[in-house]
Chains A and B, each alone.
Chain A
Amino acid sequence: MGRYIARRLFQLIPVFFGATFLIFAMVYAIPGDPIQALAGDRQISPSTVQALREKYNLNDPLPIQYAKYMGNLFQGDLGESLRGRDVTEIIRQKFPVSLRLALLAFAFEAIIGMAAGLLAAIFHRSFLDMLVLVSTTAVISIPVFVLGFMTQLILGVELDLLPIAGIQDGWRSYILPASVLAAVSLAYIARLLRTSLIENLRADYVRTARAKGLPQGRVIGRHALRNSLIPVVTYLAVDLGGLMGGAIVTEGIFNLPGIGNEIFRAVQNQDGNIVVGIVTALIIIFLLMSLIADLLYAWLDPRIRYD
């Protein structure tokens, strides 16, 4: 396991530098004036432009620009907004709300998604199975922002069940946004678990377990389920990036004062500096989380380590 962790950490380094360089290159090195583009339609004075060019080292050659950019990044300096707010400070302030939203969404995904997949696989080809298949396909097809407004309309306004904006009601106000955020991943988890469980339930080792006379619950829980979870864990790791994108949309729609909402507002106010700064931070978090998922994956399936 130790060697595996070391190797994965080592592999992360080029990916980390590559990904940050890519973002850097696409933002600051493409033709056109990035400062004007970041400011959107707003008129900015030549002296501001000059100050910003200094700030982002745009007068230096490209490799030096990148080196300075990375230096700032390592010191936790993600730049500041056009109004002078520090991006790192914004992230620190808004982080708790986003974390609560993410945890609740994750709980929904894990519990409901896995339950649906499990039931569909056990009762393969039943009405329940069909129901899971049809409803998950439908959910996957609806874009998150449409789903968000729909739940707001139906559950929030028409039925008046749950709060639809802000966080004044504590945990209750997180329920709607978290379920919207979780919906697509939940559907994928249910489908993935269903497919792989159906396959594993037909495997020889499951037949052996049954032949030994193990009770059904143990056969599924201890033998088939653990193997079937492998693709689910892998999916969860890759999906994290999608979840962050989804959080921008849901926090925007439900007006939760989190990191996503900050990006949502910044895009609408055309404050490109905040957008680039925060999203870069998110991508770095994503890279670290996928490393953790890889390690988890090796723990679930010991064979992965011995390659």
Chain B
Amino acid sequence: MTDRHSNNPPGEDNTNTHTNTPDANPGSILHPLPADSAGLPSERTGGPPVRSVPWDNTAGTTTSGGRQAGLWGDAWRQLRRSPVFWIATSIIFLFGLMAIVPGLFTDADPHFCSLERSVESPSREHPFGYDIQGCDYYARVIYGARVSMTAGVLVATVASLFATIFGALAGYYSGLLDTIIARLTDVWFGIPTVLGAIVVLSTVGNRGILEVSLVLAALGWTTMLRLMRSAVLAEKNADYVRAAQALGAPHRRVIVRHILPNSISPLIVYATIFVGISITTEATLSFLGVGLQLPSISWGLMISTAQNRILQRPHLLIYPGICLSLVVLSFIMLGDILRDALDPKLR
């Protein structure tokens, strides 16, 4: 991985301000998920940093109106023009709204069921039909958005907060602290998320959305910590950091005000994709029977309850399945497009 240096034509790269850091590794940001895995051995080889990004170093001290030429300003200008960005954010917004106020989308009560209508096919008044218990499937699909969105956002937030703090500390201080954090990360990385979650959750008696999310966050932070650590490592010897240190800025200020803004974008990209991954994981666990339990309404659980009737009544699979895939797809597309916008090398 470390050897896959970018080959930007000279001149295209003139905004790059990196100094003594080796050439940035485009792979890590090109493909957050697999590239991290590739970043694993690269760390051992003392691999080069993830990237170096031009940044308006005066941001925060002097922003004298006018055109802001920072990384985020540039990124926003590029995002604004991208139809994929608008499609993804609208879908996410729609499902977010569904999660917060499901009443906007349906009057039906998802918990009102009558067995007479069990697995009735879709009709005009009830577009998604009925489930095995005879509940209105459309209402249940709508109410199911809450679990998926909460799980995804909660897992990604908790895990990325943890990863930011400890990744930044490990990258900035190196030495013993770095070694300890890196070894612990190796240990956690040895446990595959789904398998680990099955083991842990099958010993948790009452599983709600909070329990499931916390277990997933506890198992899923490793990739983000490694991204953060190598990004901080790439920045910490840059001239502007040296300058801030020479001016007497305390370590905390150097990290928070100078290094983090310049090194957080790979993490943000991956966290966005991780929301999608976590939604899939929650649904998979609920499908397997170690995630949420009835009477919770979750898309994975709905498909799980219906699994013996799916071949006769495809509507039981199709509607929650489509919603699930659509939400996950939106987060993955958003992550992809963010990565393209935030990585100046790709421009």
Contact = CB atoms under 8 A, between A and B. Distances in A.
B210 interface: no
Contacts of B195: 241, 244-245, 279, 282-283, 286
A286 B189 CA distance: 11
B325 A241 contact: no
B31 A195 contact: yes
Contact of A144 (B284, B289, B290, B314): B284
B27 interface: yes
A275 interface: yes
B60 interface: no
Contacts of A267: 198, 202, 288-290
Contacts of B196: 23, 26, 283
Contact of B192 (A199, A204, A245): A245
B314 A153 contact: yes
Contacts of B97: none
A282 B35 CA distance: 24
B6 interface: yes
Given A14-B187, A267-B290, A283-B190, A195 B30 contact: yes
A292 to B, nearest CB: 14
Q: Is the interface of B mostly helix, strand, loop or mixed?
A: helix
A30 interface: yes
B191 A22 contact: yes
B266 to A, nearest CB: 15
Interface in B148-166: none
Contacts of A307: 44-46
Contacts of A294: 41
B283 interface: yes
Nearest to B33: A188
Given A27-B199, A143-B324, A235-B38, A303 B194 contact: no
Interface in A22-69: 22-23, 26-28, 30, 32, 34, 36-38
A137 B332 contact: yes
Contacts, number: 214
Given A19-B190, A307-B46, A192 B287 contact: no
Interface residues of B, number: 64
Contacts of B26: 199
A256 B108 CA distance: 39
Given A27-B199, A36-B205, A150-B321, A227 B284 contact: no
Given A234-B41, A248-B198, A283-B190, A149 B310 contact: yes
A103 interface: no
A245 B267 CA distance: 25
Contacts of B276: 141
A118 interface: no
Given A26-B200, A150-B317, A249-B288, A283 B30 contact: no
A193 B269 CA distance: 20
A234 B34 contact: yes
A297 B41 contact: yes
Contact of A249 (B187, B287, B332): B287
Interface string A194-229: 011001101110000000000000000000000100
Nearest to A253: B307
A294 B38 CA distance: 11
Nearest to A282: B195
A96 interface: no
A137 to B, nearest CB: 6
B59 interface: no
B152 to A, nearest CB: 13
Interface in B51-77: none
Contacts of B194: 241-242, 244-246, 248
Interface string A255-298: 00000000110011000100110011011001100100010010
Interface in B1-60: 1-4, 6-7, 26-27, 30-31, 33-35, 37-38, 40-41, 44-46
A253 B191 CA distance: 24
A276 B328 contact: no
B252 interface: no
Interface string A227-240: 10011001101101
Which 7 A-B pairs have CB atoms at the shortest separation, nearest pair first? A241-B192, A245-B194, A18-B187, A141-B329, A238-B37, A19-B190, A146-B321
15 contacts: A18-B186, A18-B187, A27-B203, A37-B202, A149-B307, A153-B311, A199-B27, A202-B7, A227-B4, A230-B3, A234-B41, A241-B191, A242-B194, A268-B289, A304-B41
Given A26-B196, A28-B203, A245-B194, 7 more contacts: A14-B187, A142-B324, A150-B321, A199-B7, A231-B37, A246-B194, A303-B45
Interface of B: 1-4, 6-7, 26-27, 30-31, 33-35, 37-38, 40-41, 44-46, 183-184, 186-196, 198-200, 202-205, 276, 280, 283-284, 287-290, 300, 303, 307, 310-311, 314, 317, 321, 324-326, 328-329, 332-333, 336
